[in-house]
Amino acid sequence: MNQNLKSTFFVLSLLLLCFQGRAQDFQFSQFYAAPLYLNPALTGISQETRMGSVYRKQWPGLDYQFTAFTAYLDHYSFDHKSGVGLSVSSFSEEFLKLNTSDISGYYAYNLQLSERVAFQLGTQISYIQKRGTLENLLFGDQIDVFNQALFPSSADAVGGLEPFSYFSVGLGGVFTWDKLWIGISGHHLNRPNLAFYVRDGQTQHWPKYSIQAGYTIPLDDPEFWEEGSGKFVHLMANYKRQGPFQFVDAGLQVLLNQLVIGVGFRSLPIQSDLPKRESVIGLVGLNLSSGLAFGYSYDYPISDVGSQTLGSHELSLRYQFFYGSPKSRGQRSRVLPCFSYLR
């Protein structure tokens, strides 16, 4: 292979890296199980102390998979009408060993507009690091066409990808009623540079904007079971836009005392000209009275990606409790029922 062609191949590889770097943030199917990652204004929204995590394994049927993990801790102070939180996340792609890790701090303030309506405003500051390698790339001089063989290494000297870091800023707001909440959030609003090879400042992060909503329907019809039986239907949706991509996630959950079952759709496209990659989601979980909750969901792709990917698996775990004075614990009745699946 001549030098010009080698250089062209190398540049194309770097362009691929830059494109992946500017692509969408990783998304969880159980987006409500990672509330701080979803919207910084959800920090402390349960008015309790929460800790939780979500793990996702995407497309295990392929040789190279995608994995994601996030863990969070948040606490609400009644005295300061504020929530504070901390989260750590990691997202990995196995082919080029691309990894994005971050640690984020959160603050939210609660403004009570009336007895039944409140607005919460939140902010987020993240420190993010990216790393990767080029060891799995295949160059033309490694291919022996006549003998149908591959050489183990290339004559080209290809350096590694130096890790780099940046800060990202996010904002969000949430309106809450008794059984309804609506939130809006923006991430990477400072548009940081995020490429291993920066050129002319054209590798700025696409901001991500999203609108979320949830509605809770109590199932306390005395014709079927006693009033206040702990049975609810939760409807939820999340619209997100990042760069040219626009998608909607939607779901329905039924809480029957401590058992949770649900269905949903992931990544329903808004634009018809984008490649379709939507999935149907099935979920089962437990929401215990002790404050411990567990959920498992499976994504079955119904798009061109195909069933050979074997879908995606996602696990979520959460524990919540009241921390503070007995007076604060006595305010448990103030917790909004519309957040029983976020709590």
In the chain, what are the domain boundaries? 3-339
- pLDDT tens for 186-228 read 999 999 876 655 555 557 788 999 999 999 988 865 544 444 4
- pLDDT tens for 102-133 read 999 999 999 999 888 999 999 999 999 988 77
Contact 57, 65 (CB under 8 A): yes
The whole-number pLDDT of residue 12 equals 38
Indicate the SS3 state at residue 327. Answer: helix
Provide the β-strand partners of residue 172.
122, 185
Looking at per-residue pLDDT, the higher value among 310 and 273 belongs to 310
Q: What percent of the chain has pLDDT over 70?
A: 69
Q: Quick one: which of 91, 92, 59 has its CA closest to 300?
A: 59
Which are the contacts of 126, defined by CB distance < 8 A and separation ≥ 6?
102, 103, 104, 105, 167, 168, 169, 170
CA atoms within 13 Å, Cβ hemisphere of 301: 17
| Tokens standing for residue 37 | 């990652």
- pLDDT tens for 49-106 read 999 999 999 888 777 778 999 999 999 999 999 999 999 999 988 766 788 999 999 9
Per CATH, the homologous superfamily of domain 3-339 is monomeric porin ompg (2.40.160.40)
Indicate the SS3 state at residue 85. Answer: strand
- pLDDT tens for 158-189 read 555 678 889 999 999 999 988 899 999 999 99
